[in-house]
Amino acid sequence: MVTKNEIKFIKSLRDKSVRNKFNLFVVEGEKSINEFLNSNYKVYKIYSTHPANISYNYVIQISDKQLIQISSLKTPNKHIAIFNKTKFPVKNQKNYFLLDSVSDPGNLGTIIRTLDWFGHDQLICSKNSVDCYNTKVVQSTMGSLSRVNVHYIDLYDFISSSNLPVYGASISGKSILEFSEKKDSGIWIFGSESNGISDDLSKLINQYYCIPKGNNRVKTESLNLSTSFSIILSFLKLD
């Protein structure tokens, strides 16, 4: 059974300030919950209308009505879990992917899922980017957040302290099709949905790259950020 106070608390975790205060976040759905249970994240509580489907010893059974009350989804998925947020150190690696002022939860979630698909386990975001523990972000990652560590740091300081070449996504850049040679290392920056890469970071970029249009008849001005990220990652031969 879940109390009224618990229902109120679970719903309050949709607010970033509450998540930060209690160091907790919400995961919904059997698949995503089980993936977080098999990760480095520690579970706080799990609520379910079908406890037997969750691979955990202690699951609090709730009614369908209570599930609707605490879920952020239009069609709740039987299970809701609360996990402790975890901080991971930035790992040294050959290639880094940076997001500058990205605000759309769906874009961030898809980017995290794309990184996971290509075998990358780290993403670096500017401090003003959308929170990776936002309920919409967590949901759109479909469990990939359990394997991709997201860091929020000062991007200018990070790039300035690195000796790696810096590449920036821009519609005026060099075609990604011309990146035929393997890039051994680099920092790959993607800007915000509306303003692109900030002026301060632009000064640090060594080369811009872009996704070429199909032909001169194409009228679309730009691609969605997460779509661009996925296409570019599929072309790059990165470790």
pLDDT tens sequence across 11-63: 999 999 999 999 999 999 999 999 999 999 999 999 999 887 787 888 999 99
Q: What is the mean pLDDT of residues 118-125?
A: 96
**What is the rounded average pLDDT for all residues in the chain?**
91
Provide the whole-model pTM: 0.92
The domains located in the chain, with CATH, are: 4-84 (3.30.1330.30), 95-235 (3.40.1280.10)
Find the range with the poorest average confidence among 15-19, 31-35, 75-79, 110-114. Answer: 75-79
Which residues are within 8 A (CB) of 125 and not within 5 positions of it... i.e. 6 or more apart? 98, 99, 102, 108, 132, 150, 151, 152, 153
